[in-house]
Amino acid sequence: MGRNSRPPGGGRCTPRPPCLGLRWEVTNPDQRSEETEDMNTDIPGLSVVELPDTVATPDPGRTLPATRRILKAEGVDLISFTFSPGQVLGEHHTAHPVTIQCLDGEIDLVLADTTVRLRQGTLLHLEAGITHHVQATPEATEPATILVSLLTGHREVK
């Protein structure tokens, strides 16, 4: 994928940082469980996502984590990353603030000389432009999944 190319499903990769060769999957909004079908999801401005059903499937044969865009909506872009043992998302920064929530397993977020260990249930906020990389923990034996929320901004409602 080129530096300015668009992933399938209308995703976006900006020139800085490069997309690092990630493969994108886009969830199908028509694939919902019976519980979700019971909810009225035709309301403008409402999106319902069932995380266990939509996270990226681990791909231990690659050096990069598996990715899946879960939702692109006004003000936010939600992407899951599933890291198999040994996988690293190399040094990069984002153009927007992000939150990173560990959904399963453990992940290390490395900023300069500081490593932050994210465990299931941990949530952190990272301002735009901060260089970092994310990796499976050195002792990992099972996949780990994080949910990244790119906080792209919103329009003001008048």
Cβ atoms of 66 and 57 closer than 8 Å: yes
The pTM of the whole model exceeds 0.85? no
pLDDT of residue 41: 58
Between CA 157 and CA 16 the distance in angstroms is: 30
Q: Which CATH code fits 8-150?
A: 2.60.120.10
Q: Which residue has the higher pLDDT, 59 or 51?
A: 59
pLDDT of residue 126: 96
Check whether 3 has a pLDDT greater than 80: no
Between CA 83 and CA 78 the distance in angstroms is: 16
Per-residue b or e along 106-137, where b marks 16 or more CB atoms closer than 10 Å to that residue's CB: bbbbeeeeeeeebeeebeeebeeeeebebbbb
Instruction: Name the DSSP class of 90.
Output: E
